[in-house]
Amino acid sequence: MLNQHAREMVTAAESFSKEVFYIPVSALGCSPEIIEGSGMLGIRPRNIQPIWSEVPVLFALHRCTQGLVRVGTSRASDSPADGARDAGRPDAGKDAEAADDGDGPAVLRMTRGTGT
């Protein structure tokens, strides 16, 4: 979908990097609304619900450090885009595990090189 709507961005990113990861995020988690009276677009603060906005930073920390950030899989209902995290990985899912303590979303954990 990104290639269909923003082909130039995809081409530019892939032309200067060996690895490109596309992580779906939303800083606001909602769309702007038309403000009555002014006709301008605005965001209602009470509607702001960021989606995966922390994931790019955590992913970068995971890639740059060893063992600082552990990441794994979450339940499909918690994912904004099925498989976006693992797209293009031949070993997707082999080293990931989900930990669910029953008190909300699954905890993200990734193990490095265990193969279990």
Are 92 and 41 in a shared domain?
Answer: no
Query: Which residues are CB-contacts of 23 (< 8 A; sequence separation ≥ 6)?
Result: 52, 55, 56, 59, 84, 85
Mean pLDDT for 86-97 is 43
One domain, residues 58 and 37: no
Whether 47 maps to a domain, the answer reads: yes
Assigned domain for 111 exists: yes
Q: pTM for the whole thing?
A: 0.53
Give yes or no: residues 62 and 93 share one domain. yes
Mean predicted confidence (pLDDT) in 86-104:
43
Domain count, the chain: 2
Question: Is the residue at 42 inside a domain?
Answer: yes
The pLDDT score that the predictor gives to residue 47 is 95
Q: Cα angle vertex 92, ends 3, 53, to 5°?
A: 60
Angle at 45 between CA 47 and CA 85, to 5 degrees: 55
What is the model's pLDDT at position 68?
Answer: 86
